[in-house]
Structure 1
Amino acid sequence: MNRESGRHPVNVGHLVMGIAFLAMVGVWALIQAGVVGDGDVRWLLPVPWVLAGLGGLVAIAMSGSRRWTTRQTGWVEPATPTEANDPTEEIR
């Protein structure tokens, strides 16, 4: 496949899980450093999943319009049968 730009295609699943992992490490670091109290953990734990979801949505929105072109998917309209290669024509 020939690429027109130097950009590497993004694997959205890898991006989402990477963001979630980094955010979980950040939450863990905040808890271990004592910056966040016990009462604040309740609202802080969903933050990695929200950030990962937003990152995934942004990645899909940025690459969605360029991803499904006919050149990249290889989709070709089927040719219309002609008299020469029409298998429904009776054999004489």
Structure 2
Amino acid sequence: MSYDYAPPPRFEDHPSPEKPTGRHPVNIGHLVMGLAFIAFVVVWALIVSDTVTIDSLEDLRWLLPMPWIVGGSVGLLVAMLRRQ
């Protein structure tokens, strides 16, 4: 009777591969939506703190598109810079 059998190696016995370090590429969609969310919070804070006086809903016509304009502008800028 021979006892030369070795069990198969376990996952825990293998050394872990080196993890790459450094920066990862920017996800433009996440960046744009995060900036739009922050800009909406700023718009809300301006309205609640009475920094911007709103007499009617028509006064919001210039203020509510601002988060989308800011987020889209930054997204376009990052997309252009990424190509270079």
Q: Normalising to structure 2: TM-score of the pair?
A: 0.66
Report 1:27-42 matches (<5 A).
27-39=43-55, 40-42=59-61
Q: Which runs of 5+ in 2 are unaligned?
A: 1-19
Q: Once the two structures are superposed, what CA deviation does each residue of 1:31-80 show, in whole Å capped at 9, x if it has no partner?
A: 00001111542211100000010011011011123xxxxxxxxxxxxxxx
Larger radius of gyration: 2
User: What is the percent sequence identity of the aligned residues?
Assistant: 54
**1:18 maps onto 2:34 in alignment:** yes
Question: RMSD value over aligned CA atoms?
Answer: 1.9
Moved segments of 4+, more than 6 Å: none
How many residues are paired up? 62
Cα shift at 1:7: 3.6
